[in-house]
Structure 1
Amino acid sequence: MPRLVDHEQRRREITTAARRVIAAGGLEAATFQSVAAEAGISVRLIQYYFGAKRELLLATHLAVVVDSGERFAARVGVLGADASPREVIEAVSLALLPLDDVSHADALVLAAYHAAALSNSEFIKPEDTHGAPLYLVNLFTEQLRRNRKPGKAFDTAQLDAQLIVFSLGSITQGVLIGSHTREQVVELIRHLLDRMLGDC
């Protein structure tokens, strides 16, 4: 009796191999041939599941984003329903920073996509990378508004949320290039949140 193929699992195996290739050599290294060799499968099988390189790269990017979301959702879940906005934002931020080998590799992959978007790559467009930061801005904005007094003349929650997200990107870059240690960036993000949020 022929073995049934779990197509989602096979797609996951391929994007996982692509992540390893990109983390090691950048987006340019992620050819069908290199990913097939990393996954231990044929190029034809990758073509069957993804058709073209852009589809493979988009699926790989999505896999990284989904895994990152699951990491911070797990951290927030541990906090419980009564967590303060500060606790939620810190938990999400620390889950996204490259503080262990897995998140460090994912940060390298996302940095490769960002570089491709900046360089007018034929495979990755700037708008392909906008979704995750926008989601974080909306999430942080919602948290910041929870404990703020209504009726203020100017609501800065969204601006503050954007500053946190942009800071996370810069802090991540600092870890990736070796200018800051993992311990230093934990202290840095907590200092940032102290200044912006206090005990809210």
Structure 2
Amino acid sequence: MPRQVDHDERRRQIAEAVWRLAMRGGLEQVTLRQVATEADVSARLLQYYFGTRDQVLLGALEILNADAERQAKRRMDELGESPTIRTVVRGVLLEMLPLDQERRDRHTVYAAYFVRFLTEPALASVAEAATSGLADLVTDLIAAARAAGQVVEGVEPAVEGAFLTAGAEGLQTRMLLSQLSSDDAIAIIDRQLDRVFTTA
């Protein structure tokens, strides 16, 4: 009896091939043939699961984002049953930093997509949704902390949400370029949180 194909597993196999190619040399010159070879599947099978080259790149990005959400949720769960709002905000911001190999690989792949984010609407919309979602989450958390009297007077949640997430993205880039250590990046995040929240 032929082995039943796990379609999700096959899609992941192809997505991981895209990620490896992205980490090795970017995505600008990557072809369907290269992806198929890297994934050890036929070009026909690649097109069956994803379609065009752009759809392969989009599908691989969506799987990467889903992985990131699962890993982030797992790490947030590890904060305990009743973490403070500041602790949750800190966890969200640290998730944006390449603090371990899994996050470093993911952010390296995102960096390889960057030019395509600027030029391709479908990929840009996925990137925008992820970035806006994080900023909105941090904004909502700071608003809840303000309502509970846990932030410094005068703090504007939307402004701080945008600033903190943009700052974390900047730290991420410097860490990927080995211009900033993990400890220094975390210290910068903590100093910014000291500016926003009334208690550590």
> 2:74, 2:23 → 1: CA distance?
24
Q: Give the secondary structure class of the aligned counterpart of 1:148.
A: helix
> 1:171, 1:198 → 2: CA distance?
24
Q: Give the secondary structure class of the aligned counterpart of 2:82.
A: coil
- The RMSD of aligned alpha carbons is 2.2
> 2:78, 2:114 → 1: CA distance?
31
1:10 is aligned to 10
Q: Give the secondary structure class of the aligned counterpart of 2:147.
A: coil
Verify the 8 A CA contact 1:73 1:92 in the aligned structure 2. Answer: no
Q: Deviations over 1:50-86 (max 9, x none)?
A: 1101111111111221122112211211223421111
Verify the 8 A CA contact 1:141 1:160 in the aligned structure 2. Answer: yes
1:50 is aligned to 50
What amino acid sits opposite 2:171 in the alignment? I
2:196 is aligned to 196
Verify the 8 A CA contact 2:17 2:38 in the aligned structure 1. Answer: yes
Q: Deviations over 1:95-132 (max 9, x none)?
A: 221111221111011112222222x25x8553331011
Identity %: 30
136, 139, 142: which is aligned to 1:138? 136
TM-score, normalised to structure 2, is 0.89
Verify the 8 A CA contact 2:23 2:108 in the aligned structure 1. Answer: yes
Aligned positions of 1:108-123 closer than 5 A: 108-118=108-118, 120-121=119-120
What amino acid sits opposite 2:78 in the alignment? V
What amino acid sits opposite 1:136 in the alignment? L
What amino acid sits opposite 1:50 in the alignment? F
Q: Does 1:92 align with 2:92?
A: yes
Verify the 8 A CA contact 2:85 2:142 in the aligned structure 1. Answer: yes
1:107 is aligned to 107
Q: Give the secondary structure class of the aligned counterpart of 1:27.
A: coil
Structure 2 unaligned runs (5+)?
149-153
- Out of 30-39 and 100-109, give the one that drifted further: 30-39
- Out of 170-179 and 188-197, give the one that drifted further: 188-197
2:157 is aligned to 157
Verify the 8 A CA contact 2:58 2:123 in the aligned structure 1. Answer: no
Verify the 8 A CA contact 1:75 1:92 in the aligned structure 2. Answer: no
1:127 is aligned to 125
Aligned positions of 1:73-88 closer than 5 A: 73-88=73-88
> 1:44, 1:193 → 2: CA distance?
51
TM-score, normalised to structure 1, is 0.89
Structure 1 residues 125 and 71 mapped into 2: Cα distance closer, same or farther (>3 Å)?
closer
1:183 positional shift: 2.5
Verify the 8 A CA contact 2:155 2:196 in the aligned structure 1. Answer: no
Equivalent residues, number: 197
Verify the 8 A CA contact 1:116 1:124 in the aligned structure 2. Answer: no
2:151 is aligned to none
